[in-house]
Amino acid sequence: MRKRSLVGVCVLLGFLAFFPSGWAQAQTIKIGINAELTGDIPKVGEGTKFAAQMWLEDVKAAGGLAVGGKKYPVELVIEDNESKAESAVKAATKMITEDGVLVMVGPQASKQAVPAGGIANNYKTPMISPWSTNPDTTKDRPYVFRACFLDPFQGPVLANFITTEFKFTKAAVLYDVASDYPKGLAEFFKMAWERLHGPGSVVAYESFTTKDTDFSSQLTKIKNSGAQVLFTPQYYNEVALIVQQAHQLGWKKPIVGSDSWGSAETVTLCGKDCYGLFFSTHYAAAGATGATKEFIIRYQRKHGYVPDDVAALTWDAMGLVQKAIQDTGGLTGDLKKDRENVRSAMGRIKNFKGITGDMTFSGGGDPTKCAVIVRISDKGEFEFYKAACP
């Protein structure tokens, strides 16, 4: 009995696949959400789901998504990828081939987004990862986009910010030579800084290795190098040690960091020493204004906590998807053709006003957008200071 019904379903599915017009009758826009709902980073998946559902509420309140003068109902297909690469691939394949989604949002983490992006590209289905910062996610994949900036991008942004904000010309860098993220960022910062201020303007380029706790020798060198600012793209536990030791060695100049500073632990471990310092990141909850503030208030009222960068970026990714669908000027009902139209529309989006900054796609899948510079306030909160562009 069970076997027969299975055969029936297969036949039906086969029919549907051969007659694309079968999809068109539903006239429902399906958007796939590939989220890390369980596994290592469930908080990331939760933020994704909540932000996407908030977007859906808005669409429903408007009576559907208006495309080319016609309103379409929207359905979210939410799949759990268990924070695993293989499950993300499975979820993506299922959403594309079985559920017939028009476009996919997620996965978030690069570990899942890089392989899932490969699937999306092979099936010629547009996908946007809100949070994945690894270059490989979108590299050579015309169908894959992202809503955040890439790791290397923060180097030039911070170099510019320090130059315009403080008018400094000499910088020092202290980084972990044994860890990819800090090492890469240190190199990009050095390159950008020397492009602005000439060779030799990074007067001290010092390193240590993971697990080191004493930086006194490096910091003594930095202090006596005549540097006006110290850039250290480290994780929160090292940030606390570096900043405290620098102050104990008599360093009174600014210390600047990158989005790896953006953990609540930074201030817990570092204390008053970190107050007044700057770092770059995707989004800042404290001191937000306009649409960003509205989103934060709404989210907090509904779910009881301040949304993190994943939720904010997902919200923007949903907005980009909406804009891309609307920019197609109308759906043909042929899923293959519509996916292609959405892809090319997304690649053409200019000056999209997101809550994490303005975004412009110019050709590739990576948006040109500005980073947010956060100042650690005198109460230890991460406060929006200004937007910084490369």
* Interface contacts to other proteins, rule CB under 8 A: 177, 206-209, 211, 213-214, 216-218, 220-221, 224, 236-237, 240-241, 244, 247-250, 265, 268-269, 271
Mark out the alpha helices in the chain (DSSP H runs).
2-18, 21-26, 42-61, 85-94, 110-122, 154-166, 180-197, 216-223, 236-248, 264-270, 290-303, 309-327, 335-347
Q: How far apart are CA 308 and CA 286, in angstroms?
A: 11
- C-alpha distance from residue 150 to each of 72, 132, 188 (Å): 34, 8, 12
C-alpha span between 324 and 234 (Å, rounded)? 36
For the CB of residue 299, give the shortest distance to other proteins in the complex, in Å.
26
Which residue lies nearer to other proteins by CB, 55 or 189? 189
| Burial of 159: CB neighbours in 10 Å, binned 0-12, 13-18, 19+ | buried
Q: Whose Cβ is closer to other proteins: residue 207's or residue 332's?
A: 207
CB closer to other proteins, 265 vs 294: 265
Q: Minimum distance between the CB of residue 245 and other proteins, rounded to whole angstroms?
A: 8
Closest approach of other proteins to the CB of residue 128, in Å: 31
Task: Supply the angle between the helices 42-61 and 290-303 in degrees, to the nearest 10.
Answer: 110
Dist. CA 139–CA 117, nearest whole Å: 10
Q: 3 or 211, CB closer to other proteins?
A: 211
Q: Which of 240, 235, 255, 227 is nearest to 176 (CA)?
A: 235
Instruction: Kindly state the smallest distance separating residue 218's Cβ from other proteins, in Å.
Output: 5
Closest CB to other proteins among 212 and 294?
Answer: 212
Q: Quote the least distance from Cβ 196 to other proteins, whole Å.
A: 24
Distance CA 317, CA 331 (A): 20
Q: How far apart are CA 42 and CA 16, in angstroms?
A: 35
Strands 127-129 and 144-146 turn out to be parallel
CB of 205 to other proteins, least distance (A): 8
From the CB of 329, what's the least distance to other proteins, in Å? Answer: 51
Which residue number, 178 or 297, has a Cβ lying nearer to other proteins?
178
Q: Which amino acid is at 16?
A: L
What letter represents residue 157's amino acid?
Answer: V
For residue 48, give both structure tokens.
Answer: 């994704």
Minimum CB distance to other proteins, residue 247 (Å): 8
By beta-carbon proximity to other proteins, the closer residue of 59 and 172 is 172
Give strand pairing partners of 173.
Answer: 205, 231
Q: Which is nearer to other proteins, 224 or 362 (CB)?
A: 224
